[in-house]
Amino acid sequence: KNVETYIEDMERVRIVASKDKQTISRLTRLSVSLVEEYLEIIRTYYPESMYLNRMEGNIEGKGNQVSCGTIIKCKKLKK
**Residue 36 phi, psi (nearest 5):** -60, -40
pLDDT at 62: 45
pLDDT at residue 28, as a whole number: 96
Estimate the crossing angle of helix 2-15 against helix 21-28, to 10 degrees. 130
* List of the chain residues with pLDDT < 50: 55-79
Per-residue pLDDT, 52: 62
Residue 71 to residues 56, 57, 75, Cα–Cα distance (Å):
21, 24, 12
Among candidate residues 67, 66, 64, 46, the one with its CA nearest the CA of residue 56: 64
Query: What is the distance between the alpha carbons of residues 79 and 71, in angstroms, rounded to a whole number?
Result: 23
